Amino acid sequence: MNQQNPAESPRPRPIAEDQALVERVRKGDTLAWRTLYERYSPPVFRFVSALGVPPEEREDAAQDVFVAIYRGLKSFRGEAQLSTWIYRIAARHASHLGRRRRMRSFLSLLPWHEAELEPQPDPAEKASELRLLDQMLAKLSPKKRMVLVLFEIEGLGVNEIASVMGCPPNTVWSRLRHARAELVRAARRIAR
Protein backbone atom coordinates (compact mmCIF):
# COMPACT_ATOMS: atom_id res chain seq x y z
CA MET A 1 0.00 0.00 0.00
CA ASN A 2 1.42 3.38 -1.05
CA GLN A 3 1.19 5.92 1.77
CA GLN A 4 2.07 9.57 1.33
CA ASN A 5 4.36 11.37 3.66
CA PRO A 6 2.27 14.07 5.40
CA ALA A 7 5.06 16.59 4.80
CA GLU A 8 4.78 16.08 1.01
CA SER A 9 1.14 16.95 0.62
CA PRO A 10 -0.71 19.33 2.91
CA ARG A 11 -3.90 17.85 4.26
CA PRO A 12 -6.97 19.99 3.76
CA ARG A 13 -7.52 22.13 6.83
CA PRO A 14 -10.94 22.76 8.28
CA ILE A 15 -12.03 26.27 7.40
CA ALA A 16 -12.75 27.06 11.06
CA GLU A 17 -9.18 26.05 12.01
CA ASP A 18 -7.71 28.43 9.42
CA GLN A 19 -10.08 31.24 10.41
CA ALA A 20 -9.06 30.88 14.05
CA LEU A 21 -5.41 30.97 13.02
CA VAL A 22 -5.97 34.15 10.98
CA GLU A 23 -7.72 35.82 13.93
CA ARG A 24 -4.82 34.95 16.22
CA VAL A 25 -2.31 36.39 13.73
CA ARG A 26 -4.40 39.56 13.44
CA LYS A 27 -4.17 39.93 17.23
CA GLY A 28 -0.39 39.77 17.06
CA ASP A 29 0.14 36.13 18.03
CA THR A 30 3.61 35.33 16.64
CA LEU A 31 3.19 31.61 17.32
CA ALA A 32 0.06 31.63 15.15
CA TRP A 33 2.01 33.39 12.37
CA ARG A 34 4.76 30.78 12.63
CA THR A 35 2.16 27.99 12.47
CA LEU A 36 0.59 29.56 9.38
CA TYR A 37 4.01 29.99 7.77
CA GLU A 38 5.11 26.42 8.52
CA ARG A 39 1.80 25.05 7.29
CA TYR A 40 1.75 26.91 3.97
CA SER A 41 5.41 27.54 3.09
CA PRO A 42 6.04 24.09 1.53
CA PRO A 43 3.03 24.27 -0.80
CA VAL A 44 3.79 27.90 -1.69
CA PHE A 45 7.39 27.00 -2.51
CA ARG A 46 6.23 24.06 -4.68
CA PHE A 47 3.63 26.26 -6.35
CA VAL A 48 6.01 29.08 -7.31
CA SER A 49 8.43 26.41 -8.55
CA ALA A 50 5.72 24.84 -10.70
CA LEU A 51 4.83 28.27 -12.09
CA GLY A 52 8.33 28.58 -13.52
CA VAL A 53 10.13 30.74 -10.99
CA PRO A 54 13.82 29.91 -11.53
CA PRO A 55 15.55 27.95 -8.74
CA GLU A 56 17.75 30.89 -7.75
CA GLU A 57 14.66 33.09 -7.19
CA ARG A 58 12.32 30.60 -5.49
CA GLU A 59 13.30 31.21 -1.88
CA ASP A 60 13.00 34.99 -2.27
CA ALA A 61 9.74 34.59 -4.18
CA ALA A 62 8.22 32.45 -1.43
CA GLN A 63 9.36 34.95 1.22
CA ASP A 64 7.85 37.82 -0.76
CA VAL A 65 4.57 35.90 -0.97
CA PHE A 66 4.52 35.56 2.81
CA VAL A 67 5.23 39.25 3.26
CA ALA A 68 2.21 39.93 1.04
CA ILE A 69 0.14 37.41 3.01
CA TYR A 70 1.08 39.00 6.33
CA ARG A 71 0.22 42.47 5.06
CA GLY A 72 -3.01 41.26 3.50
CA LEU A 73 -4.34 39.29 6.45
CA LYS A 74 -5.97 42.46 7.81
CA SER A 75 -8.19 42.59 4.75
CA PHE A 76 -8.75 38.84 4.34
CA ARG A 77 -12.51 38.46 4.55
CA GLY A 78 -12.69 34.68 4.59
CA GLU A 79 -14.94 34.52 1.52
CA ALA A 80 -12.51 32.00 0.05
CA GLN A 81 -10.53 29.37 1.88
CA LEU A 82 -7.26 30.65 3.28
CA SER A 83 -5.31 28.27 1.04
CA THR A 84 -7.11 29.58 -2.06
CA TRP A 85 -6.35 33.15 -1.06
CA ILE A 86 -2.70 32.27 -0.46
CA TYR A 87 -2.44 30.55 -3.85
CA ARG A 88 -3.90 33.64 -5.54
CA ILE A 89 -1.24 35.81 -3.93
CA ALA A 90 1.48 33.35 -4.95
CA ALA A 91 0.17 33.19 -8.52
CA ARG A 92 0.10 36.98 -8.85
CA HIS A 93 3.60 37.22 -7.44
CA ALA A 94 4.98 34.51 -9.76
CA SER A 95 3.28 36.20 -12.71
CA HIS A 96 4.78 39.53 -11.71
CA LEU A 97 8.24 37.97 -11.45
CA GLY A 98 7.81 36.41 -14.89
CA ARG A 99 6.85 39.76 -16.42
CA ARG A 100 9.84 41.43 -14.75
CA ARG A 101 12.16 38.69 -15.99
CA ARG A 102 10.82 38.94 -19.54
CA MET A 103 11.16 42.73 -19.45
CA ARG A 104 14.77 42.49 -18.21
CA SER A 105 15.51 39.97 -20.93
CA PHE A 106 13.91 42.17 -23.56
CA LEU A 107 15.72 45.27 -22.34
CA SER A 108 19.04 43.45 -22.33
CA LEU A 109 18.60 42.77 -26.05
CA LEU A 110 18.07 46.41 -26.93
CA PRO A 111 21.09 48.17 -28.41
CA TRP A 112 21.20 51.05 -25.92
CA HIS A 113 24.52 52.41 -27.09
CA GLU A 114 23.48 52.44 -30.76
CA ALA A 115 20.19 54.25 -30.22
CA GLU A 116 21.67 57.66 -31.05
CA LEU A 117 23.22 56.37 -34.30
CA GLU A 118 20.07 54.89 -35.76
CA PRO A 119 17.46 57.16 -37.27
CA GLN A 120 14.44 57.61 -35.05
CA PRO A 121 11.18 56.14 -36.36
CA ASP A 122 8.89 58.52 -38.12
CA PRO A 123 6.18 59.69 -35.66
CA ALA A 124 3.63 59.45 -38.47
CA GLU A 125 4.55 55.79 -38.99
CA LYS A 126 4.21 55.09 -35.26
CA ALA A 127 0.84 56.84 -35.20
CA SER A 128 -0.24 54.78 -38.19
CA GLU A 129 0.71 51.56 -36.38
CA LEU A 130 -1.24 52.64 -33.29
CA ARG A 131 -4.28 53.49 -35.41
CA LEU A 132 -4.04 50.06 -37.04
CA LEU A 133 -3.88 48.38 -33.62
CA ASP A 134 -6.86 50.44 -32.44
CA GLN A 135 -8.80 49.38 -35.56
CA MET A 136 -7.97 45.73 -34.95
CA LEU A 137 -8.99 45.99 -31.29
CA ALA A 138 -12.21 47.76 -32.26
CA LYS A 139 -13.24 44.70 -34.30
CA LEU A 140 -13.21 42.55 -31.17
CA SER A 141 -16.32 42.25 -29.06
CA PRO A 142 -16.19 44.50 -25.97
CA LYS A 143 -15.76 41.53 -23.62
CA LYS A 144 -12.89 40.03 -25.63
CA ARG A 145 -11.24 43.42 -26.02
CA MET A 146 -11.47 44.09 -22.28
CA VAL A 147 -9.94 40.70 -21.40
CA LEU A 148 -7.15 41.17 -23.94
CA VAL A 149 -6.30 44.68 -22.77
CA LEU A 150 -6.41 43.77 -19.07
CA PHE A 151 -4.22 40.70 -19.59
CA GLU A 152 -1.76 41.76 -22.29
CA ILE A 153 -1.46 45.49 -21.71
CA GLU A 154 -2.36 46.03 -18.04
CA GLY A 155 -0.77 42.77 -16.88
CA LEU A 156 -3.63 41.62 -14.64
CA GLY A 157 -3.93 37.95 -13.76
CA VAL A 158 -6.83 35.79 -14.86
CA ASN A 159 -8.42 35.71 -11.40
CA GLU A 160 -8.26 39.49 -11.14
CA ILE A 161 -9.81 39.83 -14.59
CA ALA A 162 -12.51 37.35 -13.61
CA SER A 163 -13.28 39.50 -10.56
CA VAL A 164 -13.31 42.68 -12.63
CA MET A 165 -15.58 41.18 -15.27
CA GLY A 166 -17.75 39.11 -12.94
CA CYS A 167 -17.19 35.84 -14.78
CA PRO A 168 -15.38 32.56 -14.10
CA PRO A 169 -11.64 32.31 -14.85
CA ASN A 170 -12.31 29.72 -17.56
CA THR A 171 -14.43 32.28 -19.37
CA VAL A 172 -11.54 34.74 -19.16
CA TRP A 173 -9.17 32.17 -20.67
CA SER A 174 -11.66 31.38 -23.42
CA ARG A 175 -12.21 35.04 -24.32
CA LEU A 176 -8.46 35.65 -24.27
CA ARG A 177 -7.79 32.71 -26.59
CA HIS A 178 -10.50 33.84 -29.03
CA ALA A 179 -9.34 37.48 -28.94
CA ARG A 180 -5.76 36.48 -29.71
CA ALA A 181 -6.89 34.24 -32.56
CA GLU A 182 -9.02 37.03 -34.04
CA LEU A 183 -6.10 39.47 -33.86
CA VAL A 184 -3.80 36.97 -35.59
CA ARG A 185 -6.35 36.48 -38.38
CA ALA A 186 -6.76 40.25 -38.76
CA ALA A 187 -2.98 40.74 -38.90
CA ARG A 188 -2.67 38.04 -41.58
CA ARG A 189 -5.36 39.72 -43.68
CA ILE A 190 -3.52 43.04 -43.42
CA ALA A 191 -0.16 41.45 -44.30
CA ARG A 192 -1.49 40.03 -47.58
Report the pLDDT averaged over residues 151-177. 86
Is the pLDDT at 51 greater than 50? The verdict is: yes
Nearest to 137 by CA among 126, 146, 128: 146
For the chain, the structural domain boundaries read 15-108, 123-191
Is the pLDDT at 10 greater than 90? The verdict is: no
Nearest to 183 by CA among 121, 128, 175: 175
What's the pLDDT at 16?
77
The contacts of residue 51 (CB under 8 Å, 6+ apart) are: 90, 91, 94, 95, 98
Is the pLDDT at 5 greater than 50? The verdict is: no
What's the pLDDT at 22?
92
pLDDT-derived band at 178 (thresholds 50, 70, 90) equals very high
The domain made up of 123-191 has a fold known as Arc Repressor Mutant, subunit A (1.10.10)
Return left, alpha or beta for 132; rule: phi > 0 is left, psi -120 to 50 is alpha, else beta.
alpha
The domain made up of 15-108 has a fold known as Rna Polymerase Sigma Factor; Chain: A (1.10.1740)
What's the pLDDT at 136?
78
Report the pLDDT averaged over residues 4-8. 44
What's the pLDDT at 52?
77
Distance CA 84, CA 167 (A): 17
The contacts of residue 173 (CB under 8 Å, 6+ apart) are: 158
Entry pTM: 0.52
